[in-house]
């Protein structure tokens, strides 16, 4: 199945958290379906049916999204896209939101 991997490379660059997990879920399902097709097997499992077998797809969490924001702000600061005090101010607001939401 090296041909499949070459034709459908998995691109994870820039993906994090729930987006990465769900992208992996879909890529693996598609790979599995390609293996089944190559072997002449008809699968009765749909992508939507995976939820019943393995649980729901990962939903983005506020905590995860907040961590992604903090990482983005750190990267922006390193690249001089934002100033240090802007990062501190934004993180302060984010901390207040997390406290209000109890996360």
- State whether 45 and 88 are in the same domain: no
- pLDDT mean across residues, the chain: 84
- Rounded Cα gap, residues 37 and 52, in angstroms: 22
Question: Are the C-beta atoms of 8 and 28 separated by less than 8 Å?
Answer: no
- State whether 91 and 75 are in the same domain: yes
- Rounded Cα gap, residues 85 and 43, in angstroms: 55
Tens of pLDDT along 1-10? 688 888 988 8
- State whether 66 and 47 are in the same domain: no
- State whether 6 and 30 are in the same domain: yes
pLDDT of 1 reads: 67
Q: How many domains does the chain have?
A: 2
- State whether 47 and 12 are in the same domain: yes
Range of the domain at 92: 62-101
Count of helices and strands (H, E) across the chain: 5, 0
């Amino acid at each position: 199945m090296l041909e499949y991997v070459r034709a459908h490379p998995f691109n994870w660059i820039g993906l994090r958290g729930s987006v990465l997990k769900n992208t992996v879920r879909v890529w693996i399902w598609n790979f599995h379906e390609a293996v089944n097709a190559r072997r002449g097997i008809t699968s009765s499992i749909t992508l939507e049916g995976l939820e019943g077998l393995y649980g729901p797809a990962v939903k983005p969490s506020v905590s995860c999204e907040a961590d992604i924001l903090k990482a983005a702000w750190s990267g922006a600061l390193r690249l001089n896209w934002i100033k240090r005090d802007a990062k501190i101010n934004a993180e302060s607001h984010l901390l207040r939101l997390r406290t209000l939401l109890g996360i």
